[in-house]
Amino acid sequence: MHDIIIIGGGAAGFYSAIHIAEGLPNLNIAILERGKEVLTKVKVSGGGRCNVTHAQFDPKELSTNYPRGEKELLGPFHSYASGDTVGFFEERGIELKIEDDGRMFPVSNSSQTIIDCFTSEADRLGITLHTRCSVTGIKRIDNGTEYFWEVVTHENTFKTRYVVMATGSNPKMWNLIHQLGHTIVPPAPSLFTFNISDERISDIPGLSTVAEVSVLDKKGKHQKLKSKDIKEGVLFSEGPLLITHWGMSGPAILKLSAWGARLLKEYDYRFKISVNWAPEYHQNGLVDLFMEVKQVERKTVLRTKVLEIPKRLWKNLVAAAGIKDTETWPDVSKQQLQELAEQLTQCVFQVNGKSTFKEEFVTAGGVELKEVNFKTYESKLLPQLYFAGEIINVDAITGGFNFQNAWTGGYLAAQGIIHNETLNK
């Protein structure tokens, strides 16, 4: 009989195993991993650098980065959050650095540093690791005198008192959990980029600028709050926007893809967005500004720097407003300037599909939040069954928050088991 079986040798699985073993050194702990390698997502994460967490140390602020899980994570973050993650790695000789946007990476700039830390810790603490060990069934044995779990793999049946499920977004595991009586919120991809084919951006891939973006509903109005996934009342975000060969990416777009994960799936990823390239203005304010410029400026509209936006984007928007390269301010009509202001502040694009954001992606959906005790990460339905990481219906915007969910869940599940064991002694 094992004491604890952790299913899934990923971020959350290792984090919980290490903390359980530290708290309960004499217990028999094993990690079962279906792949031939462990921590494969950590390896590729953050473009191979592993964006471990985010320099957001206030639990309330931290929780606002989770389209699903914001409310539930507030308590857990008061117990274990980014600062604790930094402490964990520091204690093990791994220094993290903060980038300008708040993302935190190992100073080595290599995810291998994190993997080596976890595998050497697991080794030091005597945690058994079974790779190529895919779990195909879980059975609860409760015969009145005994209570334990049977974890079935292709070759073995492991008996164990506790199970920690940390299998990420594997649909087969969600099915098993569903068969045990839990509700599973259907999966939907999150953190993706928008495919847009449009003359106004086709010749400027690589260009990045700060913009406001909102999703429009079927009537062309700002998409109103329809589900609890959408936070601000409308599906809106602002921040750096990157033009790509296929459309648009960057934090402003990725945030929309996260908050709108469910709705945009319903739209089959075909919808309209409105971009404000000059976030400090709205259309009327900009028309007033242009009319003032028209009074004093004699140069071509194309060559006049009125706003802080990249020149090549300005050129394309001037053309889209029907203003020729040679037209000067005195030449253009108020109507043309109104059109230019509209292109700048309410620039509508048709999105036709999505692409994978290679640095980080995640799946929304998973074990229903109401069925998890967020003090211990134990199932509210089945004692001695714990969940940690992406398996739960929690996901975040990009920036290290998804790993923080895995660390917090892994840590608190470990504390839950330690507490339970101590009580039973």
Ligand X SMILES: Cc1cc2nc3c(=O)[nH]c(=O)nc-3n(C[C@H](O)[C@H](O)[C@H](O)COP(=O)(O)OP(=O)(O)OC[C@H]3O[C@@H](n4cnc5c(N)ncnc54)[C@H](O)[C@@H]3O)c2cc1C
Answer yes or no whether residue 170 interacts with ligand X by CB under 6 A.
yes
DSSP 195-239: E---HHHHT-TT-EEEEEEEEE-TTSSBPBP-STT--SSB-EEEE
Answer yes or no whether residue 249 interacts with ligand X by CB under 6 A.
no
Q: Which of 59, 251, 400, 416 binds ligand X (CB under 6 A)?
A: 400
Q: Which of 345, 402, 408, 415 binds ligand X (CB under 6 A)?
A: 402
CA-to-CA distance for 365 and 69, rounded, in angstroms? 10
Name the one residue in this structure whose structure tokens are 């009074």: 295
List the structure tokens of 234.
């409308």
Nearer to ligand X, 30 or 301 (CB): 30
Q: Which of 210, 273, 406, 414 binds ligand X (CB under 6 A)?
A: 406
Answer yes or no whether residue 18 interacts with ligand X by CB under 6 A.
no
Instruction: Show Cβ contacts of residue 56 under 8 Å, excluding neighbours closer than 6 positions.
Output: 62, 65, 82, 102
Q: Which of 7, 73, 122, 317 binds ligand X (CB under 6 A)?
A: 7
Instruction: Considering only the stretches 43-51, 181-189, 311-319, 366-374, report the one whose residues sit in contact with ligand X under the rule CB under 6 A.
Output: 43-51
Answer yes or no whether residue 44 interacts with ligand X by CB under 6 A.
yes
User: Which residues ranging from 82 to 121 are in contact with ligand X (CB under 6 A)?
Assistant: none
Nearer to ligand X, 189 or 349 (CB): 189
Answer yes or no whether residue 35 interacts with ligand X by CB under 6 A.
yes
Cα 127 to the center of its chain, rounded Å: 29
Q: Binding residues for ligand X, how many (CB under 6 A)?
A: 37
How does 401-410 read in b/e, with b if 16+ C-beta sit within 10 Å? bbbbbbbbbb
Answer yes or no whether residue 389 interacts with ligand X by CB under 6 A.
yes
Instruction: Show Cβ contacts of residue 275 under 8 Å, excluding neighbours closer than 6 positions.
Output: 211, 212, 213, 241, 347, 348, 349
Answer yes or no whether residue 371 interacts with ligand X by CB under 6 A.
no
User: Which residues ranging from 335 to 364 are in contact with ligand X (CB under 6 A)?
Assistant: 359-362
Name the one residue in this structure whose structure tokens are 């004093």: 296
Q: How many Å is the Cα radius of gyration of the chain?
A: 25
Amino acid at 166: A
CA-to-CA distance for 401 and 53, rounded, in angstroms? 6
Answer yes or no whether residue 167 interacts with ligand X by CB under 6 A.
yes
Please state the φ and ψ torsions of residue 266, each to the nearest 5 degrees. -55, -35
Answer yes or no whether residue 257 interacts with ligand X by CB under 6 A.
no
To ligand X, the closest distance from the beta carbon of 94 in angstroms equals: 15
Answer yes or no whether residue 214 interacts with ligand X by CB under 6 A.
no
Instruction: Considering only the stretches 17-25, 204-212, 221-229, 402-410, report the one whose residues sit in contact with ligand X under the rule CB under 6 A.
Output: 402-410
Instruction: Show Cβ contacts of residue 295 under 8 Å, excluding neighbours closer than 6 positions.
Output: none
Nearer to ligand X, 137 or 233 (CB): 137
Instruction: Considering only the stretches 1-9, 76-84, 333-341, 378-386, report the one whose residues sit in contact with ligand X under the rule CB under 6 A.
Output: 1-9
Q: Which of 13, 59, 251, 365 binds ligand X (CB under 6 A)?
A: 13
The answer to whether 64 and 163 are in contact (CB under 8 A) is no
User: Which residues ranging from 50 to 79 are in contact with ligand X (CB under 6 A)?
Assistant: 50-51
Query: Residues interacting with ligand X, by CB under 6 A?
Result: 7-13, 32-35, 40-41, 44-46, 50-51, 134-135, 166-168, 170, 173, 359-362, 389-391, 400-403, 406
